[in-house]
Every structure is written in C-alpha cells, then in structure tokens.
Amino acid sequence: MTRVLEGKVAVITGAAGAIGMATSRLMAERGATIVAVDIPGTDWSKLKAALPKDTRLVTAEADVTDEPSVKAYVEKAKAECGRIDIFFNNAGIEGPVQPIESYPLEAFMQVLGVNVAGVFLGLKHVLPVMYAQGAGSIINTSSVAGLTGATGMAGYCTSKHAVVGITRVAAIEAAAKGVRVNCVNPGPIESRMMQSINTGQSGDPKLSHDLISNAVPAKRYGTPEEVAGLVAFLASDDATYCNGGFYTVDGALTAA
C-alpha cells in the first residue's frame, strides 16, 4: 500500500458510519492522521478496531448542524494536529421515504439541516484554516440523488443537489488560494443507510435491493471501500487539477 497521504491530517465527519469508516481506514493505511467527527454519544470502538494499529487518531463529538460544535471540532483538529490538509465533509442522513404530499416539513428541514447546513458549516470553518496554509483538499459527500430524482426522497434529493451547488461555489472561491473542493456522488452502497431506504421504499428491503441492483448497469450495489478509493484519490496530490467537480461512483447508474 502506497503511503501517499503520509504526514497529512484528515478531518472526516460521519466517521463512525459506513463510508466515513472505510475512508478513515484507507486514508490511515495511506499514512494520514485521522480526526474522526461524529454525533455526541458515538461508540468509537468499531472505528478504532477498523484502523491500522499505528494510526494517529483524534476523535471529536459534534452535531454538524450546531455552529459552536463545528468550530470546536475544527479547533480541536488544529490544536492537536497543527493543520488540516484533508476535509471529508461527509455526515448525512437519509430522512423518510414519503411522497411530497405526505412528507413532513419537520423531516424535510432536518434533512436539509444535516446534509446542507452541516456541509456549509464545515466549509465555513475549515476553509479559513486551509487558506492560512495556502493548501488543502475538501471532498463533500453528495449522491446520485444529487444528480437525478428519486421517488419519495424529496428531502434527500434536494439536499444532495444543494451539495453539488455549494461545492461549485466553494471551489470558485477557494481555487486561487490553493484549496480544492470537490464532491463525490455514490450510487447505492451496501450500508445501513440503503437498508433503511430500501425498507422505506417497499417494506420489503430485499425486493427493493434486488430491483435497484438490477437497475444498476453493474448489477450490484457498491461497497463503502469503493467510495473510499475515490475520496482518497481526490484528497491526494495525484488530483491537484481536480477542482469544483462532481465524481460519480455508481456502477454506471447515472450513465444509463
């Protein structure tokens, strides 16, 4: 395994979830220090067990929708590691699966709160750190639901389209300051989140899983590790001219 991220400090939100954990592991294997951020009360044991033994790990508990908590995890990263080279702005929730006419406003606002305001607040507080360094790479997590619609997913699709928009704004603002901002757009990934969406879609998660797998040209869901590979590339110095883009990792779903 090449240690192309040796010496770099990576802040990862939603680090205790499927994609955050796989990305934390891959970046740690490639030499990065990991600052893992997740919701207060997180059990970190699974993440710790997943990381290589020699990983330098800092954990921070924060609700990404709460600005003082976001400030606090950024300050902790700076205080304990001195810098932030990589920011994987990844925490997110799926919300309910409901047609618009019965989608509760409260749930809609909650999904926008985590998936949009959470991403915005992360950018707001990490960008100045990277500007001061004159370098950094940020990867926001959007989704194929940020590029196309999906029945019953008004909150989620709206929020993930917004992530593409804010990625573009941030990239334009940051490019001349040496900072890159991109987003990744995963398709269906084997995970708790897709299980929850599949259950909401039909009450029979296996049926939904089979139908969606069949609609993907690759005929399967992806794995968290396949998303991590793309994120780690965008984070690295192999991607120095990748800026302001969105990158699908979806088995050709959105190409079809």
Ligand X SMILES: NC(=O)c1ccc[n+]([C@@H]2O[C@H](COP(=O)([O-])OP(=O)(O)OC[C@H]3O[C@@H](n4cnc5c(N)ncnc54)[C@H](O)[C@@H]3O)[C@@H](O)[C@H]2O)c1
> Residues with catalytic annotation?
156
Q: Tell me the sheet residues that pair with 184.
A: 141, 247
158 dihedral zone (left: phi>0; alpha: psi -120 to 50; beta) = alpha
C-beta closer to ligand X: residue 8 or 209 = 209
Q: Considering the complex, what minimum distance in angstroms separates the CB of residue 134 from ligand X?
A: 28
Q: Tell me the sheet residues that pair with 222.
A: 189
Q: Considering the complex, what minimum distance in angstroms separates the CB of residue 196 from ligand X?
A: 8
Q: Considering the complex, what minimum distance in angstroms separates the CB of residue 178 from ligand X?
A: 26
**Is 74 in contact with 126 (CB distance < 8 Å)?**
yes
C-beta closer to ligand X: residue 30 or 221 = 221
C-beta closer to ligand X: residue 109 or 175 = 109
Which single residue brings its beta carbon nearest to ligand X? 17
Alpha helices in 13-88 (DSSP H): 18-29, 45-50, 67-81
Give the binding site for ligand X (CB under 6 A).
Answer: 13-14, 16-20, 38-39, 63-65, 90-93, 114, 118, 141, 143, 186, 188-189, 191-194
**Is 246 in contact with 147 (CB distance < 8 Å)?**
yes
